Amino acid sequence: MLSDQQILRIPGPSPIPPSVQRAMSQPMIGHRDQETKELLQRIKPDLKPLFGTEQEVNIITGSGTAGLEAAVVNTVKPGDEVLVIVTGAFGDRFAKICAAYQIKTHRYDVNWGEAVTSDAIKEYLEKYPSIKAVFATFCETSTGVLNPVQEIAEAVHTHSNTLFIVDGVSCVGGVEAKMDEWDIDILVTGSQKAMMLPPGLAFIAVSERAWKVIENNTQPRFYLDLKKYRDNLDKDSTPFTPAVSLLFGLEQVLRLIEQEGLEQVYARHQLMMKMTRAAFNALDIPLLTTDKAASPTVTAIKPADFQADELRRILKEDFSLTMAGGQQHLKGRIFRIGHMGYCSPADVLQTISVIEIGLRKAGKTTELGKGTQAAQEVYLR
Amino acid sequence: MLSDQQILRIPGPSPIPPSVQRAMSQPMIGHRDQETKELLQRIKPDLKPLFGTEQEVNIITGSGTAGLEAAVVNTVKPGDEVLVIVTGAFGDRFAKICAAYQIKTHRYDVNWGEAVTSDAIKEYLEKYPSIKAVFATFCETSTGVLNPVQEIAEAVHTHSNTLFIVDGVSCVGGVEAKMDEWDIDILVTGSQKAMMLPPGLAFIAVSERAWKVIENNTQPRFYLDLKKYRDNLDKDSTPFTPAVSLLFGLEQVLRLIEQEGLEQVYARHQLMMKMTRAAFNALDIPLLTTDKAASPTVTAIKPADFQADELRRILKEDFSLTMAGGQQHLKGRIFRIGHMGYCSPADVLQTISVIEIGLRKAGKTTELGKGTQAAQEVYLR
């Protein structure tokens, strides 16, 4: 096996572009110095289009979960009633965070692999009009489902002042998000997925409606207090020492996205999804989700006649290619391919063609090249 | 001015060693993969000596303040009585965190630039025996004071089960810390100071006594829940996606410290402190702290006859050398030199000799070379 090659095809962390790697290697600077001020000045305007907002995007040093928790502790307090839409492991995480803070939590569970419908949420809110906030997952990383957050936003906002809070961790930057137009109140993402950076930053954009709630919320918080981030960002600063090297990288990521064009970035992710799905369809291996529910950033496959984890083991051993397994009750039953961020159609072809070899080694008598061919055809169409 | 040179002499973030920079540029890996498991296995034992503990050191992705807040929310709850020793801006931060969580907070304020005495704390605790935890700052970054935490620990623990919680952010890794021997219950640090990494990681070690309190503490927390970090670290894992690139760097930092020898690292910091202090004494420019209260990692200077910020401006302009100013009421009245982490006696000589030029430009008629000479003599002694 070729030394020093790692092919990372999990749904985050995702590979880092070489120019971003170089940007992160810039010498350290003081977080209170003019250099950092200017860095934030350059970053701020270019972050907004990824969220589809005119609001400033706040940057927290932490895992994506820190961003999700910030969305909770800033908007609700113990005893408040919320609805958490659970379509997989990350919807479940929102529910767990709410539970930890004694928020009165309604769970709306959907079968893993399916998307929620806006009608269901509309009905639910009619039944429980005292719900103050609805939490949803945009792309559910654990299943590869893209939930229809635009439609859900509409359903939520027919109801007075209910907030609509969205975890966009595994898709913002790779999937169109129009926070202002769709009327999403809070949109969170992390650095290590479609944002092409190492883990360590959480991003969180907040609507005017949500800021009003945040300002009056008595829930104690300090490190995750969004008001502190907003007030400092207004002065091109951060309340606490930020992960400076990731900010260096972020500036370069935003430059790369600008060079490619945001629409092209989204189209590339759509294409990679279609290529991946066409390949498994051609190989007659079941996909976990329908075409309609599928995310452009991650595809989950649910094999009927071979072991998902055995295929993963073979590809890791033979090609240093890493795919993700299933989480919670899907452990061992699915495998997931990340195709987001620094990933191209050529990378998808590599992944598919390598998987075809792995399938043979796993004892499945698939026709070699058949999946690859289907993906190539999608590319050429 | 030479392009592309930055001389960073603030008390954190501190410069990054080239080999650490290279380590951080390794290709991204999956945070749930064997590679990360093995990385954590290599890191875990080597972190302990820096804290002087047999306990595992928990790693949180976040700013140092996330570590301080973790120390608060895991050990106390609203209504609990605590004592916060405030010797500067970071003791004040502990007090602010406690206030945000409705902890009944006694503040013990010491004049900025002075260290607290253990006798004072002993007396205070005798007067208020219901205090459950004492929070202190080891090195107070805002003043360059090193508080006598070993003596304070002794004073605290003559009182039953009171916890002693220490912010070691700007010194652990550069100053001897014997958590177990001195009987410190929680010791926190950040990555961007003596640990020679970019900002983005907080480290937190916890005594058996503190774990018992943490297990029974009902204060809600999720991202900063230390039990989650401990339970995952036992399995060589993290509860949330960690800042992987900083973990790559951390492994190399620990290798560098092992190569130099921890005792030598501490001796180097002592030497750099003495060189810096000797220089300003020779230049007849007042230091903020006494020799006894001085920290080996940062020196604060309080000029009597020139403007601190004017000197800083000149050095930045002429040499791209950055020093820190004063915080809160010391703003404009002091300047601070960081000499920690990736900093050598040669770097201290460079800093001093450049400052001497800056002093001339600021209108002070100091004898050139006099401070440098004093520092050289300390080195040769």
Q: pLDDT at position A2, please?
A: 81
Structure tokens at B173: 């890794």
Q: pLDDT at position B82, please?
A: 98
Interface mutation vs chain A, best among B73, B141, B241, B322, most A CBs within 10 Å: B241
Subunit contact B6:A16, Cβ cutoff 8 A: no
Q: What is the pLDDT of residues A8-31, one digit of tens each?
A: 999 999 999 999 999 999 999 999
User: What backbone phi and psi angles, to 5 degrees, belong to B35?
Assistant: -60, -45
Q: What is the pLDDT of residues A276-320, one digit of tens each?
A: 999 999 999 999 999 999 999 999 999 999 999 999 999 999 999
Interface mutation vs chain B, best among A241, A244, A253, A331, most B CBs within 10 Å: A241
Interface mutation vs chain A, best among B6, B61, B92, B201, most A CBs within 10 Å: B61
User: What backbone phi and psi angles, to 5 degrees, belong to B85?
Assistant: -85, 120
Give me the mean pLDDT over the A54-67 stretch.
98
Q: Contact A301/A334 with Cβ under 8 angstroms?
A: yes
Q: pLDDT at position A366, please?
A: 86
Question: For residue B159, is pLDDT > 90?
Answer: no
Question: For residue B1, is pLDDT > 80?
Answer: no
Task: Determine the 3-state secondary structure of A242 from DSSP.
Answer: coil
- CB distance from A69 to chain B under 8 Å? yes
**How many Cβ contacts (< 8 angstroms) between chains A and B?**
171
Q: Taking a contact as any Cβ pair under 8 Å apart, which residues of chain B between 16 and 55 contact chain A?
A: 16, 21, 24-25, 27-33
Question: For residue A177, is pLDDT > 90?
Answer: yes
Q: pLDDT at position A4, please?
A: 84
Nearest Cα to B155, choosing from B124, B197, B186? B124
Question: For residue B47, is pLDDT > 80?
Answer: yes
Question: For residue B278, is pLDDT > 80?
Answer: yes
Output the average pLDDT for chain A: 97
Subunit contact B16:A24, Cβ cutoff 8 A: no
The residue behind tokens 């000045």 is A41
What angle is formed at CA A265 by the lines to CA A264 and CA A267, rounded to 5 degrees?
Answer: 60
Give me the mean pLDDT over the A113-136 stretch.
97
Cross-chain CB nearest to A29 (options B6, B65, B78): B6
Subunit contact A13:B6, Cβ cutoff 8 A: no
Q: pLDDT at position A3, please?
A: 80
Q: How confident is the model at residue A166 (pLDDT cuts 50, 70, 90)?
A: very high
Cross-chain CB nearest to A241 (options B13, B242, B322): B13
A-chain residues near B223 (CB < 8 A): 62-63, 65-66, 69, 224
Question: For residue A169, is pLDDT > 80?
Answer: yes
Subunit contact A220:B100, Cβ cutoff 8 A: yes
Q: How confident is the model at residue B297 (pLDDT cuts 50, 70, 90)?
A: very high
ω into B13 cis (within 30 of 0): yes
Q: What is the pLDDT of residues A341-381, one digit of tens each?
A: 999 999 999 999 999 999 999 999 889 999 999 999 999 99
Residues B352, B378: Cα–Cα separation, whole Å? 13
Question: For residue B359, is pLDDT > 90?
Answer: yes
The size of chain A, in residues, is 381
Question: For residue A159, is pLDDT > 90?
Answer: no
Q: Contact B178/B198 with Cβ under 8 angstroms?
A: no
Question: For residue B84, is pLDDT > 80?
Answer: yes
Task: Determine the 3-state secondary structure of A322 from DSSP.
Answer: strand
Nearest Cα to A185, choosing from A216, A202, A162? A162
User: What backbone phi and psi angles, to 5 degrees, belong to B60?
Assistant: -110, 135
Subunit contact B199:A243, Cβ cutoff 8 A: yes
Subunit contact B200:A243, Cβ cutoff 8 A: yes
* Distance from the A253 Cα atom to the nearest Cα atom in chain B, whole angstroms: 15
Q: Contact B322/A31 with Cβ under 8 angstroms?
A: no
Q: pLDDT at position B229, please?
A: 98
Q: How confident is the model at residue A191 (pLDDT cuts 50, 70, 90)?
A: very high
- CB distance from B338 to chain A under 8 Å? no
Question: For residue B362, is pLDDT > 80?
Answer: yes
Give me the mean pLDDT over the A150-163 stretch.
92
Read out DSSP for B223-265?
A: TT-HHHHHHHHHTT--SS---HHHHHHHHHHHHHHHHH-HHHH
Question: For residue B197, is pLDDT > 90?
Answer: yes
- CB distance from B63 to chain A under 8 Å? yes
Subunit contact A28:B63, Cβ cutoff 8 A: no
Give me the mean pLDDT over the B346-358 stretch.
97
* Distance from the B22 Cα atom to the nearest Cα atom in chain A, whole angstroms: 8
B-chain residues near A221 (CB < 8 A): 100
Residues B137, B148: Cα–Cα separation, whole Å? 9
Read out DSSP for B149-212?
A: HHHHHHHHHTSTT-EEEEE-TTTBTTB---HHHHT-SEEEEETTSTT-S-S-EEEEEE-HHHHH
Q: pLDDT at position B51, please?
A: 98
Provide ipTM, 2 decimals: 0.93
Structure tokens at A145: 């489902």
* Distance from the A209 Cα atom to the nearest Cα atom in chain B, whole angstroms: 24
Cross-chain CB nearest to A62 (options B12, B29, B66): B66
Q: What is the pLDDT of residues A75-95, one digit of tens each?
A: 999 999 999 999 999 999 999
Q: How confident is the model at residue A190 (pLDDT cuts 50, 70, 90)?
A: very high
Q: Taking a contact as any Cβ pair under 8 Å apart, which residues of chain B between 174 and 193 contact chain A?
A: 190, 192
Q: Contact B186/B204 with Cβ under 8 angstroms?
A: yes
Residues B14, B203: Cα–Cα separation, whole Å? 17
Q: pLDDT at position B4, please?
A: 84
Q: pLDDT at position B168, please?
A: 98
Distances (CA, A) of A356 to A125, A350, A370, B330: 46, 10, 8, 67
Give me the mean pLDDT over the B81-85 stretch.
98
Q: What is the pLDDT of residues B302-311, one digit of tens each?
A: 999 999 999 9
Distances (CA, A) of B338 to A365, B215, B269, B335: 65, 38, 11, 10
Domains for chain B: give ranges and CATH numbers. Answer: 7-14+261-380 (3.90.1150.10), 18-258 (3.40.640.10)
B-chain residues near A101 (CB < 8 A): 220, 222
Q: What is the pLDDT of residues B247-269, one digit of tens each?
A: 999 999 999 999 999 999 999 99
Residue A291 DSSP label: T
Give percent of chain B with pLDDT exceeding 90: 97
Nearest Cα to A359, choosing from A314, A304, A301? A314
Chain B residue nearest residue A225, CA to CA: B100
Cross-chain CB nearest to A102 (options B21, B100, B220): B220
Q: How confident is the model at residue B2 (pLDDT cuts 50, 70, 90)?
A: confident
Q: How confident is the model at residue A161 (pLDDT cuts 50, 70, 90)?
A: confident
Long-range contacts of A330-333 (CB under 8 A, 24+ apart): A330/A112, A330/A142, A330/A143, A330/A300, A332/A307, A332/A308, A333/A302, A333/A308
Subunit contact A13:B25, Cβ cutoff 8 A: no
Q: pLDDT at position A238, please?
A: 98
Read out DSSP for B293-304?
A: TB-SSEEEE--S
Residues B4, B1: Cα–Cα separation, whole Å? 9
